[in-house]
Structure 1
Amino acid sequence: MPESRIRSDPHPTGDLSARQPRAIHSALTLLEAVAELGAGATAREISDALGLPKATTYRLVNLLVQDGFLVRTPDLSGFALGAKVVHLASVAAPVRLPSAARDLLTAARDHVRGGVHVVLYPEGRVSLVDPDPDFPFSDPVRLARDPGRFALGRLLLAEGGVAAARTESADLVAAAADIRRFGVTRQIGELVPGFGCLALPIRDAGGALAGALGFSGPAHRVEEPSGVIRLLAPTAERLAPLLT
C-alpha cells in the first residue's frame, strides 16, 4: 500500500476530504492485519504486513488505542483487538444474558483477579457472548477462526466441535489430559508469554456441553489451576440453568 494513499488530512473539516476516506480505510486495514497476525502483533509486524511506513503505522496504532479499537497486550510488547471491536461484533450478532447471569458474573469478577469470560457453543462453534469489560479478551477474532489456540476453544474441540477436524492432534491430546486431571482445559504462555487461560464447562441438564466460563491471567495461576477452579466452579454450575 503506497504511502500517498494512507496519509490523513492534518486539517480536517466538517466535510470528508479526499484524504480522510483513505485514512479511514488504512485504519480498518490495520485492524484486519491485527486480526490476522493475532494478539501480540507488534507495530513493526503490522507495518511490514501492510507495507506502511513505520511512522504512519505508529500514528494509526496510537489513535486506535486511544479510541479503544486496539489494546496493548499485558506484557506491553504488542497489540490486540480492543473492546470496541468486540462491541461491534456483539451488535452484529447480539446475545443478551439474563440479568441473573449478569449478576453472577459481576460477583465472580469482583472476587477473581483476572479476566472472566463466557462463551456459548451454538452449532458446535465458539461464540464469545460476555467478555470481561475490565480485562478485554485478547483476540476474539482469532478465537472464532483458530479456537485450538485458546482454552475456551480447546474445551469444545475436545468434545468434537465443528472445528476439531482442523485442529492439531497435540492440542486435542493436551485438552483431553487437562479435562481428565482438572476438569478444565488450559493454555499457558502460547499467545502471551507469562499469561494463560483456562475454561470450565457449562453443561445443560442432559450433560451436553453448552458453553464455558473462562479465566485469563498470570501463567502460574493456570499452571496450578485449583485456586481459580475453586473460585469459579460454583459460578459455572449456577450459570448452567440460566444459559441452557
Structure 2
Amino acid sequence: MSQVPAATRALRVLRFLSSQADPVPVEAIMRACELPRSTTYHLVNAMIEEGFVVHLVDERRYGLGVSAFEVGSGYSRQAPLQRIARRPLAQLVDRLGQSAHLAVLHGRDVLYIVEERAPGRPPLVTDVGVRLPAHLTASGRAIMASLPNGQVRALYPDRAAFTDRTGIGPQSPTALKATLAEARRLGYATEAGEVTLGLSSVAVPVLDHNGHPVAAIAVTYAAEDPVPPAAALRHCADLLSQRLGARRVG
C-alpha cells in the first residue's frame, strides 16, 4: 500500500469507473476496489466535490465526472504511452517478422492505440482506434489476468456480458476465469481464431509503478506460423513498464 492510502484508493475507484460502460451502484465499487462501505462513500463524496465523480441520484449510481474527462483529454494530447511504445514495438516487429500492437482496456473492450505491421504478413482488424471484445483477445486476457478478481467479475458478471465473433472463446464467467488462470500460469495470454479465423495472437501486460496493467503488447501471426516467443514480448513489455516507473523485472 502507498504511503498515501486515501490517494491510492481514490485512484483505484477512478480506474474502475473508467473501465465501465455505464455508471455503477456503490456496491460494485466496493467489490471491485475491495473497500468497506463507509470508506467508499467518503471517497466518492470527496471525488464528487472535485468533479471526478458524478452521482446519478435517481438511478443510485456513480460515474465519471467532468474533471476525469479533462484528465483523459490531457492524456490524449500528450499520448505518453503511444510515444514511448512506438520504437520498442517496431523493434519487436523487426525481430519477429510478425505484426504487433499495443492495446488498453476500455470497459469490456480493448482499444488499439499503436499498430506496427510487418511486411508481407496477413491483414489485421487491429488498426489504431479499433475496439474488440476483451475476453476474445490475447491483449484483453493479458490485462485482465493481472487485475483483481473482483474487477473482472464486475466487468463480466453473467453470460449476457459476453459477445462472440467466430464461435470460439469463453462465453461465461466460469470459462473466462479458467482462461485467465491459464494466462497467469503461463505468464502470457493467447487466442487462436477467436478474433479472426486463421490468425492467432500472444500477449503480455505492461505494468505501471503500482504493478497495475495499463496496456498489453501482442503479436498476431498466421495459425500455420511458429508461435512467437513470449520472452521477446516480455522483454519489450518490461522495457515499457520500467519507463512507466515499474520495478525492474528479473
TM-score (norm 2): 0.49
Alignment partners' CA distance in 1, 2:108 and 2:217: 16
> 1:200 touches 1:213 (CA, 8 Å); kept in 2?
yes
**Pair 1:145–1:103, CA change in 2 (3 A):** closer
Q: Residue in 1 aligned with 2:242?
A: 241
Q: 1:164 maps to what in 2? A: 156
The alpha carbon displacement at 1:157 in A equals 3.4
Change (3 A) 1:143 1:199: farther
1:176 alignment partner in structure 2: 181
Structure 2 CA distance for aligned equivalents of residues 188 and 123 of structure 1: 22
Greater fraction of residues in strand:
2
Measure, in 1, the Cα distance between the counterparts of 2:189 and 2:83: 27
Please state how far the C-alpha of 1:211 moved relative to its aligned partner: 1.1
Which of residues 211, 214, 218 is equivalent to 1:210? 214
Report deviation, 1:121.
Answer: 3.4
Change (3 A) 1:138 1:172: farther
Q: How does 1:182-193 map to 2 (within 5 A)?
A: 182-193=186-197
Aligned residues with identical type, % of pairs: 20
Mapped contact 2:90–2:116 kept (Cα < 8 A): no
Once the two structures are superposed, the pairs formed by residues 62-211 of structure 1 within 5 Å of their partners are 95=79, 97=81, 99-121=83-105, 126-134=110-118, 137-139=124-126, 144=131, 146-158=133-145, 159=147, 160-161=151-152, 163-165=155-157, 166-167=161-162, 168-169=172-173, 170-180=175-185, 182-211=186-215
Asked if structure 2 preserves the Cα contact closer than 8 Å seen for 1:125 and 1:163, the reply is: no
Report if the CA contact (8 A) 1:157-1:172 is conserved. Answer: no
Q: Residues 236 and 145 from structure 1, CA distance in 2 versus in 1: closer, same or farther, beyond 3 angstroms? A: closer
Q: Distance in 2 between matches of 1:194 and 1:145?
A: 17
Structure 1 position 238, deviation (Å):
0.3
Equivalent residues of 1:120, 1:210 under 8 A apart: yes
Deviations 1:61-106 (A, max 9, x none): xxxxxxxxxxxxxxxxxxxxxxxxxxxxxxxx67454654322122
Change in CA separation of 1:219 and 1:243 when aligned onto 2, cut-off 3 Å: farther
Give the letter aligned to residue 142 of structure 2: L
Quick check: which one's helix share is greater?
Answer: 1
Change (3 A) 1:109 1:141: closer
SS state at 1:212 partner: strand
Q: What is the Cα deviation at residue 197 of structure 1? A: 0.8
Structure 1 stretches lacking a partner, 5+ long: 1-92
Cα distance in 1, alignment partners of residues 105 and 244 from structure 2: 11
- Tell me, in whole angstroms, the C-alpha distance in 2 between the residues paired with 1:142 and 1:151: 17
Q: What amino acid is aligned across from residue 97 of structure 2 in structure 1? A: R
- In 1, Cα distance between equivalents of 2:128 and 2:86: 23
Separation of aligned partners in 2, 1:155 and 1:186: 8
Equivalent AA in structure 2 for residue 164 of structure 1 = Y
**Cα deviation digits, residues 9-43 of structure 1 (max 9, x gap):** xxxxxxxxxxxxxxxxxxxxxxxxxxxxxxxxxxx
TM norm structure 1: 0.50
